[in-house]
Amino acid sequence: MSRRLILPVGLALMLVLIVLIQARNAPAGTTTWLFVIVGIAAGTVLAFAVWFESSVMHARVLAIVALLGALSALFRVPFAALPNVQPSTYIVICSGYVFGPVAGFAVGALTAVVSNFFLGHGPWTLFQMFAWGLAGSSAVLLRRLPLRGRWLAFVGFTWGLSFGIIMNVWTWVGFVYPLTVRTFMITWGMSVLFDLFHATVNALLLGLLGVRTIRILERYHKRFQWEAQKDADGYTDTSETVKASQTEQTGRPPG
């Protein structure tokens, strides 16, 4: 395991352990699944937060991550009156594709935190951070495929449905009894139309604008990437700091 992952993973496991101990000592009649779901979400968010804090990132990457998080939250607020139309997911996925899994998770988490200052905070904020963060961090897997609008649209549609499922799991565990497959399907069925709205908007935005947005972000990103160059004697700069910086910024080793 990379040394950079030891601290975030250790803190996440510690948090999960604390939650499980609390679940064991919970009053009679309280479902332990609620503690498990909260522990997984909180542990994941904490792990990525510590990983982001300990990562080696160029100051301009930090600035663009903050800007994209604020922009994503700003795009969410005006559409709050529409049924689950959230252009934020489109920005989160594009950010994760260009800047890597850690930055992508940070943009997703910031989207929930900042926008909910206007729309209202509550227990759901944690799960929105978790869902949008995973959408941003998983976008890096798209690099293995050709950059095409149809692939971006497919991922956007899939994450629209996945976002709804994650939020419904929280609702189901926290407010529904008994916890059965039937009650979960009923819970999800009550929101599936809104989830389809979210998924469709994601697919349209990413299919039409995703490639252009990624190209713009990539051009900005390339302006402050380190590149190994040979000097007059033919020696190449192979500084570990430079390599670590590139790896943290792009999510993949330089080369």
In whole angstroms, how far apart are CA 21 and each of 3, 14, 17, 25, 194?
28, 11, 6, 6, 36
> In the chain, which stretches have pLDDT less than 50?
227-245, 247-250, 253-255
* pLDDT value of position 151: 92
180 three-state secondary structure: coil
Tell me the pTM.
0.77
Tell whether omega for the bond before 123 is within 30 degrees of 0, i.e. cis. no
Q: Which domains does the chain have, with CATH numbers?
A: 55-224+244-249 (1.10.1760.20)
In whole angstroms, how far apart are CA 161 and each of 88, 174, 222, 254?
14, 20, 33, 34
The answer to whether residues 169 and 37 touch, using CB atoms and an 8 Å cutoff, is yes
pLDDT tens digits for 8-23? 666 666 666 666 665 5
* pLDDT value of position 153: 94
